[in-house]
Amino acid sequence: MSASEKSPRQEGFSTQIVHADRRGGAEWGAVHAPIHTSVQYGYERVEDLIGAFQGTLKGTFNYARQGTPTTAALESKLSQMEQGVGSICFATGMAGICALFLTLLKAGDHLVASQFVFGNTNSFLLTLADLGVEVSMVDVTKAEAVAQAIRPHTRMVFVETLANPGTQIPDLEAIGALCQEKGLLYVVDNTVLSPYGFLPAQVGAGLVVHSLSKIIGGHGDALGGVVTDTGRFDWSQYPNIFSAYRKGDAKGWGLQQLRKKGLRDMGGTLSSGAAHQIAVGAETLALRMARTSATALALAEFLQQHPAVAKVHYPGLTSHPQHAIAKKWFKGSSWLMSFELKDAQQCLPVCNRLHLPLKATGLADTRSLIIPVAHTIFWEAGPETRRAMGIADSLIRVSVGLEDAADLIADFDQALK
């Protein structure tokens, strides 16, 4: 059930996004929230400066590493989109993910993570293991695998709603119920679906992570990341909160620690310029999600019946192993897909014969992007990891952009001949 379906009186997703900025008051009547570039924030009275430091004077800023009015406007927009209680933006998705792991876990803790995660997240989990956090990477399409991995010192379960490039979908609801039962923090990287396509809070996620560099910003022109607290997790039960942040309403403890220890101390701050670009991009999220997911479905159906194609990984196809979960929980499907060729030797020639999609890494630009996976993003992982992750040598990932579906299909048709 999406925000717009919850109650007939509640405004729809796009209405909320495009009007969110002005509802907290508009400076000079500006229709779009202005970009604040000041690093320092000064006060007439020293008591107000103290209030800004101690957090007793709300809605104030002191040093831009901890946020500006521009990043704060984006944070409130993102909280609204995820129906969360608060958000913290970061310079990139990885900055947010690293800050989250490093501030909420410590040596001796145990983390259960999906074995199908973003390549750099996977690489960072190895760093985390080196720092003394035990990490179990499991097949999250099976909730039993998660249940079996849980130990007495498990603190957190981390999954991605739709894995790149294999499009695996975790048993989101069952894992949520398991986390609830065991009192574990359930963290969902919702980058591919976006809050338009899926709200992880509905399956009990405590924290939601997004790379804003992908479909939310949506134009391939700004990097960013965000962590949103859904309000579902009881922080008073979480042992890793510093005593300094165990004050007041426990609902705010997790984000407070993340803002201080993660953003302020680690410094992966989103610039105001990028925050503004992402906020403008986010206004058309619903339009771009609907368009790219319809195009992707048409392309997936075309590829699935093509004699040169061995397999298409796309959740909108009934042949997808987790199609039922996608149908139950996701609005539309995704702009991300991948496919395997029958003849692995044809992988690079097919890429080269495609004219419209750019041969590029990255995801969710306005332009379609393709990349041969084994030769690039999973090259460093090595053949064994690739086999374990089900990444075939002929696998081509497609990030579907805003081109007309007929043009894309015609291009794939000529490239596969």
Ligand X SMILES: *Cc1c(COP(=O)(O)O)cnc(C)c1O
> Is the Cβ of residue 211 or residue 322 nearer to ligand X in the bound state?
211
Q: Report the nearest approach of ligand X to the CB of residue 160 (Å).
A: 5
Q: Report the nearest approach of ligand X to the CB of residue 363 (Å).
A: 6
> Is the Cβ of residue 341 or residue 364 nearer to ligand X in the bound state?
364
321 Cα distance to chain centroid:
22
CB 276 within 8 A of CB 33: yes
For residue 110, give both structure tokens.
């145990």
Q: Report the nearest approach of ligand X to the CB of residue 193 (Å).
A: 10
> Is the Cβ of residue 70 or residue 122 nearer to ligand X in the bound state?
122
> Would you say the C-alpha torsion 291, 297, 300, 305 has a positive or negative sign?
negative
Q: Which residue is nearest to ligand X (CB)?
A: 93
> Is the Cβ of residue 67 or residue 224 nearer to ligand X in the bound state?
224
Distance between CA atoms of residues 300 and 337, nearest Å: 8
Q: Report the nearest approach of ligand X to the CB of residue 198 (Å).
A: 13
> Is the Cβ of residue 109 or residue 160 nearer to ligand X in the bound state?
160
> Is the Cβ of residue 128 or residue 350 nearer to ligand X in the bound state?
128
> Is the Cβ of residue 138 or residue 209 nearer to ligand X in the bound state?
209
> Is the Cβ of residue 71 or residue 121 nearer to ligand X in the bound state?
121
> Is the Cβ of residue 150 or residue 209 nearer to ligand X in the bound state?
209
Q: Report the nearest approach of ligand X to the CB of residue 392 (Å).
A: 20
Q: Which of 167, 409, 168 is nearest to 309 (CA)?
A: 409
Place of tokens 């001949």: 417
CA dihedral 258→191→362→383, nearest 10 degrees, is 90
DSSP state letter for 203: G
> Is the Cβ of residue 150 or residue 279 nearer to ligand X in the bound state?
279
Site residues, ligand X (CB under 6 A): 92-94, 118, 121, 160, 164, 189, 191, 211, 213-214, 223, 225, 363
**E strand intervals along 222-334:** 225-229, 309-313
Query: Which amino acid would we find at residue 256?
Result: Q
Q: Report the nearest approach of ligand X to the CB of residue 211 (Å).
A: 3
Task: Count the alpha carbons within 13 Å of 1 in the hemisphere toward its beta carbon.
Answer: 6
CB 141 within 8 A of CB 176: no
Q: Report the nearest approach of ligand X to the CB of residue 187 (Å).
A: 12
Q: Which of 128, 119, 196 is nearest to 160 (CA)?
A: 119
> What is the rounded radius of gyration, in angstroms, for the C-alpha atoms of the chain?
22
Q: Report the nearest approach of ligand X to the CB of residue 413 (Å).
A: 28
> Is the Cβ of residue 313 or residue 415 nearer to ligand X in the bound state?
313
Q: Report the nearest approach of ligand X to the CB of residue 319 (Å).
A: 23
For residue 289, give both structure tokens.
């999600």
182 Cα distance to chain centroid:
24
Q: Report the nearest approach of ligand X to the CB of residue 7 (Å).
A: 31
Residues 6+ apart with CB under 8 A from 415: 350, 353, 354, 355
Place of tokens 């680690």: 266
End-to-end CA, the chain: 42
DSSP string for residues in 298-323: HHHHHHHT-TTEEEEE-TTSTTSTTH
Q: Report the nearest approach of ligand X to the CB of residue 130 (Å).
A: 20
Question: Under the phi-then-psi rule, with left for phi > 0, alpha for psi from -120 to 50, and beta for the rest, what region is 266?
Answer: alpha
Q: Which of 110, 186, 107, 185 is nearest to 154 (CA)?
A: 110
For residue 66, give both structure tokens.
């901890």
